[in-house]
Amino acid sequence: MSKINLLPWREARRKELQNQFVAILFFVALCAGAVWFAIHYYHVQLIDLENYRISYIEKKIEEVDKKIEEIQALEKEKERLLARMRAIEQLQGNRPLIVRLFDEMVTSLPEGVSVTKIAQKGTQITIDGLAQSNARVSSFMRQLESSKWLTNPNLKVIQESDAAGKDKSINSFTLTFKQVIPKVEADDA
């Protein structure tokens, strides 16, 4: 006899295929979820790594900024010290000039002329003094002109006055001249 299947095999097959479809769909969804989670985790790790790098770079930038501020403070201190050194060197260099100025003035000062006031502004020197005659003032000016340390004597004022009831007259004068500051080679000569 032939076997006849009277059971609803199509419905069972459909139900079996539907169960397989749901299982495959669940498996694919589970795989998609796992892939999405893996990609998301990977991107979170990349973001964390970049945030760490950014914080590291910001920390190093702060350190470099502090070092730059220290360097700028040191540069200002260096400029201040250099300015002080230049001022000290200039004062040290000018110290012999003051001595030379007074030495030249003493050697240039003729008899009968006295100095009452000396003022110096840079290389310009102004002298107030008393002289027994105009000739002595002009002699003083010639002596200043012949000096290699003093130059350009210029008589500003000369006034004649009687010396407290004496027969002699005294001339008060104001004279300006310049001090020559020789170069380093001139000091050696």
Dump pLDDT digits (tens) for 19-45: 999 999 999 999 999 999 999 999 999
Task: Provide the pLDDT for residue 16.
Answer: 93
Dump pLDDT digits (tens) for 97-125: 777 778 777 888 888 888 889 888 878 88
**How large a percentage of the chain has pLDDT more than 90?**
39
Long-range contacts of 140-147 (CB under 8 A, 24+ apart): 140/108, 140/109, 140/110, 140/113, 140/175, 141/175, 143/107, 143/108, 143/109, 143/110, 144/104, 144/108, 144/177, 147/104, 147/107, 147/108
Task: Provide the pLDDT for residue 132.
Answer: 84
Task: Provide the pLDDT for residue 153.
Answer: 85
Ranges under pLDDT 70 in the chain:
1, 5-6, 94, 162-167, 182-189
What are the structural domains of the chain? 88-188 (3.30.1360.100)
